[in-house]
Amino acid sequence: MEEQSKPIGLTIVYTGNGKGKTTASLGLCVRAVGYNHKVCVVQFVKGSWKYGEIEGIKRLEPEVEFHTMGKGFVGIIDDELPFEEHQKAAYDTLEFARGKLVSGDFNTIILDEINVAVNLGLIEVEDVLKLIEEKPEKTHLVLTGRYATEEVIEKADLVTEMTEIKHPYQKGILAQIGVDY
């Protein structure tokens, strides 16, 4: 195999029912910043809840931009918003992310929970496939969330599936600050 001499932007998918998809993407973010790369993180679905990663990633500014744009988790816990409002927020987020992607200003774009947005019917898989096609040649595009579609998996260069083997919730241990959020 001939060795690659010029940088190639990869499409990377972190999916599966196990924990660690967002965490893996943010680890990649930290690595990229270590090389003075510019990174943009755009979160779909996650909303107004407090997440430690938001405050942690802010410490990496100006190399990293972090945008939480969803209206929160759809149809669970305290969600009282109409589905159409979630859908509009997801499409607005998609267009915002597209602008960041095609700008060429970033080495890496992370679209957190975009696979979930597709699974929930907030955006169409065709929209994600179009983003992959529009990706500049040298830009890495990271797509996270459960339920990555076969079409997205097929288009990706790297796919990692997180598999839950054991979870503390099975012993009645609730989410822990600094580990789960």
DSSP 20: -
Q: Stretch 114-132: mean pLDDT, rounded?
A: 96
Average pLDDT, the chain: 90
User: Helix, strand or coil for residue 117?
Assistant: helix
| E strand spans, the chain | 11-15, 39-43, 64-68, 108-112, 140-144, 158-161
Look at phi and psi of residue 28 and say left if phi exceeds 0, alpha if psi is from -120 to 50, else beta: alpha
For the chain, give the percent of residues with pLDDT over 70. 90
Please, what is the end-to-end C-alpha distance for the chain in angstroms?
42
Higher pLDDT, 45 or 31: 31
What are the residue ranges spanned by the domains of the chain? 11-163
- Per-residue pLDDT, averaged over 67-92, amounts to 79
Segment (H or E) for 145 = none
Query: According to the model, what pLDDT value does residue 67 have?
Result: 93
| pLDDT of residue 71 exceeding 90 | no
Residue type, 164: E
Query: How far is residue 31's CA from residue 42's CA, in Å, rounded to a whole number?
Result: 18
Please give the pLDDT value at position 25: 97
Asked if 104 and 95 touch (Cβ cutoff 8 Å), the reply is no
Q: How far is CA 74 from the centre of its chain?
A: 16
Q: Residue type for 86, please?
A: H
Identify the pLDDT of residue 4.
62
Which pLDDT score is estimated for 79? Answer: 61
- pLDDT at 55 (0 to 100): 85
Name the pLDDT band for 169 (thresholds 50, 70, 90): confident
Residue with tokens 């909303």, as numbered in its chain: 47
d(CA 176, CA 181): 7
Q: Which fold has domain 11-163?
A: Rossmann fold (3.40.50)
What is the Cα–Cα distance from 141 to 106, expressed in whole angstroms? 10
Q: In the structure encoding, which two tokens stand for residue 107, read together?
A: 């080495």
Three-state secondary structure call for residue 149: coil
Whether 50 has a pLDDT exceeding 70, the answer reads no
So what's the pLDDT on residue 32? 97
| Pairing of the two strands 11-15 and 158-161 | parallel
pLDDT tens-digit map of 4-29: 668 899 999 999 999 999 999 999 99
